[in-house]
């Protein structure tokens, strides 16, 4: 008797039943790592159609259609699938042996431009989402229930670089997918290191205090006092915790920038 590889029905959704003994690992891996709007319950996967993720959705439909045509030789179903790719997909797996932890959180990180990147959560857990969100409070540009948009800068690169080495977050197994080359970050910076990197940090710090050169140190000192007072955590104790964290990050950024310029001024100007 020929064993069924998969069955497909097209109603309000595209419903697919797959035998997990048939090369299922790569198929499920693609689903878990490619879709942020994803509902997972045991052996039931529901992929919601997402206008922002049409490319991966189309790839999934094509792979299912080709698989069906190869084993069923059904031209009509093949064409029908391709014509209905904008429907949600429900995949039920006849489980025999799967290597994926259904409680794991799968996170995809994509660089959107030279100024921002996105973090997509498949099978999101609230505690994991909130933890990662808190890491980027100062650089957070936008968010939804399963997506963060973050400024692309040295600070956010450093945080991503650290996350990519993690295998669990807040007690949950976590699988990250990202191009590590885009988020590569030197763990330790020193004045003796890259001169170009050091001068870039100096230039960014000057911008924070609204000056163009280190010789305007009196203006830098005056602006530092103003910003340090504005962002000091003690002034925001009665505000919500999220707001407190934002101001704390801003205060630290101002303090670190001033200390960098103070060191630069002493070594490059006074000497």
- Where are the chain's structural domains? 6-94, 105-177, 195-270
The better pLDDT of the pair 138, 59 is held by 59
Please give the residue that has the higher pLDDT: either 8 or 185: 8
- Sign of the torsion formed by the C-alpha atoms of 90, 96, 98 and 102: positive
**Residue 189 pLDDT exceeds 70:** no
CA distance 185 to 178: 14
pLDDT digits (tens, 9 = 90+) for 206-230: 888 998 888 888 999 999 999 999 9
**2 has a pLDDT exceeding 50:** no
| pLDDT mean across residues, the chain | 81
- Gyration radius of the chain's alpha carbons: 25
CATH 1.10.287 fits 195-270, yes or no: yes
For residue 233, the surrounding DSSP H or E stretch is none
Q: Give pLDDT tens digits for 60-76.
A: 888 888 878 776 777 88
pLDDT category of residue 101 using cuts at 50, 70 and 90: low
Helix axes 217-231, 241-265, angle to 10 degrees: 160
Helices (H), 136-240: 154-163, 195-208, 217-231
Cα–Cα distance list, 88 to 54, 81, 205 (Å):
12, 12, 48
Alpha-carbon distance of 142 to 135, in angstroms, equals: 14
The model carries a pTM of: 0.43
**pLDDT band, residue 193 (cuts 50/70/90):** very low
**Residue 42 in this model has a pLDDT that exceeds 80:** no
118 membership: H or E segment, kind and range: strand 116-122
Contact present, 189 and 202 (Cβ < 8 Å) = no
Residue 111 β-bridge partners: 117
Q: Residue 16 corresponds to which tokens in the numbers above?
A: 């697919």
Report pLDDT digits (tens) over 130-174.
Answer: 889 888 877 888 888 888 999 888 888 888 888 888 888 888 888
Q: How far is CA 171 from CA 12, 87, 125, 168, 254, in A?
A: 37, 34, 10, 6, 33
At 113, list the tokens.
Answer: 């431009």
CA distance 86 to 131: 33
What's the mean pLDDT in 4-15? 83
């Amino acid at each position: 008797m020929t064993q069924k590889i998969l069955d497909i029905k097209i109603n309000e959704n595209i419903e697919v039943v797959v035998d997990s003994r048939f090369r299922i690992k790569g198929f499920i891996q693609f689903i878990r790592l490619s879709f942020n709007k994803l509902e997972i319950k045991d052996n039931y996967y529901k992929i919601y159609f997402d206008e922002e993720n049409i490319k991966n959705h189309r790839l999934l439909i094509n792979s299912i259609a080709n698989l069906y045509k190869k084993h069923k030789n059904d031209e009509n179903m093949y064409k029908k699938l391709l014509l209905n790719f904008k429907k949600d997909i429900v995949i039920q797996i006849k489980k025999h042996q799967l290597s994926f932890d259904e409680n794991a959180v799968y996170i995809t990180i994509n660089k959107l431009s030279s100024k921002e990147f996105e973090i997509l959560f498949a099978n999101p857990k609230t505690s994991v989402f909130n933890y990662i969100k808190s890491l980027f409070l100062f650089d957070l540009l936008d968010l939804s229930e399963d997506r963060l948009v973050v400024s692309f800068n040295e600070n956010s690169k450093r945080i991503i670089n650290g996350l990519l080495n993690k295998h669990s977050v807040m007690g949950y197994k976590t699988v990250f997918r990202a191009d590590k080359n885009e988020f590569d970050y030197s763990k330790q910076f020193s004045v003796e290191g890259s001169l170009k990197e050091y001068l870039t940090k100096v230039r960014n710090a000057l911008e924070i205090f609204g000056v163009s050169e280190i010789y305007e140190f009196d203006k830098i000192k005056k602006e530092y006092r103003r910003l340090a007072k504005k962002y000091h955590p003690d002034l925001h104790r009665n505000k919500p915790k999220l707001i407190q964290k934002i101001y704390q990050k801003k205060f630290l950024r101002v303090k670190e920038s001033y200390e960098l310029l103070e060191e630069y001024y002493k070594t490059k100007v006074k000497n």
